[in-house]
């Protein structure tokens, strides 16, 4: 709440330097703020009496939006990328997938490595585990295992995160 929006009879007033001016009536506080060419802003409405501060509200809002924009700029969004392998994948195909996985990890994204078993392959989970371990060796310089390989029904998953430099 600013200026005329404040409806309290008395307020504890703080000036623009942060010095307390004591408990004054709302009319006196508004007059002081107007004389200084600034706004009266209620900063602690739950206090008894409410605390109001004299400040340049437009400049305050501008600085606040600038800080929020800076925080959003420094924020990084981590995406989950997926690399799908096969239980019968060949070495060159795995190297191509590992190259793509390394690119994702270097960009700072997490990677989900999955194998879909077909037909009777599901009975031989150890083959999939061998493929996952071989794949992990190819990307181990950029990756940290977040969740180790685990078979769930016809699928096997492993989650990798980028290594901190």
The per-residue pLDDT for 165 is 60
**What is the domain extent for residue 61?**
3-72
Last residue of a domain, one of 19, 54, 72: 72
Last residue of a domain, one of 72, 101, 118: 72
CATH number for 95 = 3.30.110.10
Strands 80-85, 110-116: pairing is parallel
* Selection from 42, 17, 19, 18 nearest residue 30 by Cα: 42
Averaged pLDDT, groups of 10, the chain, 165 residues long: 84 89 90 90 88 91 93 83 93 95 92 93 89 94 92 93 83
* Beta-bridge partners for 119: none
């Amino acid at each position: 709440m600013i200026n005329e929006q404040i409806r309290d009879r008395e307020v504890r007033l703080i000036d623009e330097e942060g010095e307390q001016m004591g408990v004054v009536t709302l009319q006196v506080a508004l007059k002081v703020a107007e004389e200084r060419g600034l706004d009266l802003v209620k900063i602690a409405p739950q206090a008894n009496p409410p605390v109001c501060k004299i400040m340049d509200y437009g400049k305050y809002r501008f600085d606040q939006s600038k800080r929020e924009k800076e925080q959003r700029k420094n924020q990084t969004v981590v995406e989950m990328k997926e690399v799908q392998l096969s239980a019968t994948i060949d070495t060159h195909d795995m190297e191509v997938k590992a190259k793509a996985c390394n690119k994702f990890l270097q960009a700072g994204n997490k990677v989900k490595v999955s194998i879909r078993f077909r037909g009777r392959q599901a009975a031989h989970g150890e083959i999939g585990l061998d493929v996952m371990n071989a794949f992990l060796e190819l990307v181990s310089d950029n990756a940290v295992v977040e969740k180790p390989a685990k078979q769930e029904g016809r699928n096997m998953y492993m989650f990798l995160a980028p290594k901190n430099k």
